[in-house]
A and B are shown apart, each in its own frame.
Chain A
Amino acid sequence: MDRINDPNNLNSDKFSWRVSLGGALGLLVLLPIVKPDPFLDIIKFVPDGIGVTLIVTLGSIFVASIIAILVGIGRSYNKVLNRVLSIYVEIFRGIPLLVQVFYVYFVLGRFLSLPREGSAILALSLCYGAYMAEIVRAGIISIPRGQIEAATALGMNKIQIYQHVIIPQAFRIILPPFGNEFIMLVKDSSLVSIIAVSDLMRRGREYASATFNYFEAFTIVALMYLVLTLCLSKFVSLLEARMSLEVRRKKTRE
């Protein structure tokens, strides 16, 4: 039980986080110095993609979270909504993300004349929204039934119960698995390079196929993805720490 509300038991351990980030950044600095021939070029060429990767990832995190929260709440709120929304979840969970990326880009994207990045964000959000909706739903049904009955007995209506009893508690539960999904989203955003979005992955591939330095190019790409995901996992840890009961207790005491 102690580990559950322990503020130190967070998404990532401080020490291992520092070692990983330090290692990745160290290599990114050391490699071009030690072996400037391909690495310096790569370091100059590849990072142009970071901005695009960030836009696609952050956009998808935002849209997917909104989809997930709405769908998750909808599925637990009402029987009819549950039926309808579970069709969405089943379909988008069951089709490979790569196929969805193609499909959204070549069918929906053309039809709605979306930019490439827009198609990428839409495809990632629809897929991850479906996964994350299940996390939201799990968080909601994990709230003890007795609390909902107590709120009902106090005369609160369904919306008030969701707003004041269920969602605040579910939020704390879904945060760690959400962080997990965010990190997976960063990595899966590399799939959108296939529709010629010039993200980190695409830049790496362009460099590699032009110079045949595959090993060196993808080493740098891998390290840069690692730095991105590590920053994100830190962010989620901080958010978790802020939300943890211990911290909130201290706040009310002060």
Chain B
Amino acid sequence: MNDTVLRVENISKHFPRTGYALKNVSLEVKKGEVICLIGPSGSGKSTFLRCINLLEHISEGSIEFKGEYIGRESVQDSKSLEKKAQKRQKKMKRKDSLHAHLARERIGMVFQNFNLFSHLSILDNVCLAPCKVKKEPLDQAQKKAKALLERVGLFNKQNDYPSELSGGQQQRVAIARALAMDPELLLFDEPTSALDPETIKEVLDVMQTLAVEGRTMLIATHEMGFAKAVSDRVCFMDSGQIIESGIPQDFFAQPKEERTREFLSHIL
């Protein structure tokens, strides 16, 4: 029980214009587990990760991070609930949102488009959040940031600005920036999709070392080879649902569902 980092239960996400992006998705992530989410574009992988990090509000279901609810929505719409229940739910939500704020610090996220702060040097990009959110003293944060940049192989770029770096370098900085907050869960939203084939490798190498280290990671990716090699579990998503999940050997060798087979036959 204690080693469950994240428990997502039956979450749905409904967008007013486009309908359901997620439908009843459940997932449990244990400490040290590396899970890859694969599936076609628009299948809800990104939305799923964004919901976990509360960048999107879920429409239904619950998200539990380290035993604390960080997002909870009941199925009934709030009009039909009686007043007392409504009040209770509001109180519950307030408590949840407090947890949510703390949880965000402990969930790191790496985006497809890097999203580095373009007015700050690489070192400051990595230091900003630890200094401001965790209130670490600057010299300590810088020391840690330098060590992290060393790890992703960009120590000598610390005084450069994001626009002077290649895509792969920027993404490695983004990973260092996420690591600087000592997250207990790392979310990767298609981290290599905006990169060219050569630089993909340098980013994947960094991610692989993180996986070996035993970090808990949830990765949306189109890199099947990487998913096969690194993940403990692969989830295949299509049209907002997890169609199939399993350990990579079985999943890639003998997929159970027709849709999975179709997808894999296109890709491999």
Contact = CB atoms under 8 A, between A and B. Distances in A.
Interface residues of B, number: 32
B111 interface: yes
Contacts of A147: 115-118
A143 to B, nearest CB: 9
A165 B111 contact: no
B55 A149 contact: yes
Nearest to A149: B55
B169 interface: no
Nearest to A5: B163
B128 to A, nearest CB: 6
Interface stretch (A71-79, A100-108, A151-159): A151-159
A172 B119 contact: yes
B159 A152 contact: no
A236 B46 CA distance: 44
Given A169-B118, A249-B161, A149 B111 contact: yes
B133 A160 contact: yes
B202 interface: no
Contacts of A245: 119, 161, 163
Contact of B133 (A155, A169, A249): A155
A155 B161 contact: no
Contacts of B107: 153
Contacts of A157: 101
A153 B108 contact: yes
B119 A153 contact: no
B101 A151 contact: no
B175 to A, nearest CB: 12
B129 A154 contact: yes
A157 B98 CA distance: 12
A168 to B, nearest CB: 5
Contact of A150 (B101, B105, B109, B164): B109
Interface string A162-185: 001100110010000000000000
Contact of A252 (B53, B132, B159, B181): B159
A153 to B, nearest CB: 4
Nearest to B50: A149
Interface string B120-137: 010000001100110000
B178 interface: yes
Contacts of B181: 154-155
A253 interface: yes
A160 B106 CA distance: 17
Contact of A155 (B55, B104, B159): B104
A74 to B, nearest CB: 22
Contacts of B114: 146
A174 B55 CA distance: 28
B161 A154 contact: no
Which of A153, A160, A249 has most chain B Cβ within 10 Å? A153
Interface string B56-74: 0000000000000000000
B177 interface: yes
B177 A154 contact: yes
A50 to B, nearest CB: 38
B115 A150 contact: yes
A206 B206 CA distance: 76
A245 B118 CA distance: 10
Contacts of B128: 154, 156, 164
Contacts of B26: none
B113 interface: yes
A151 B104 contact: no
Interface in A235-254: 245, 249, 252-253
A146 B117 CA distance: 9
A153 B56 CA distance: 11
Given A164-B128, A252-B121, A153 B161 contact: no
A165 B104 contact: no
A124 to B, nearest CB: 31
Interface string B163-181: 1100000000010011001
B133 A146 contact: no
Which 7 A-B pairs give the minimum distances between C-beta atoms?
A: A155-B105, A146-B115, A154-B129, A150-B115, A153-B109, A155-B104, A155-B133
5 contacts: A150-B174, A154-B178, A155-B129, A164-B128, A249-B160
Given A149-B55, A157-B101, A160-B133, 15 more contacts: A144-B115, A150-B109, A150-B115, A150-B174, A151-B117, A153-B55, A154-B104, A154-B177, A154-B181, A155-B104, A156-B129, A245-B161, A245-B163, A252-B159, A253-B159
Interface of B: 53, 55, 101-102, 104-109, 111, 113-119, 121, 128-129, 132-133, 159-161, 163-164, 174, 177-178, 181
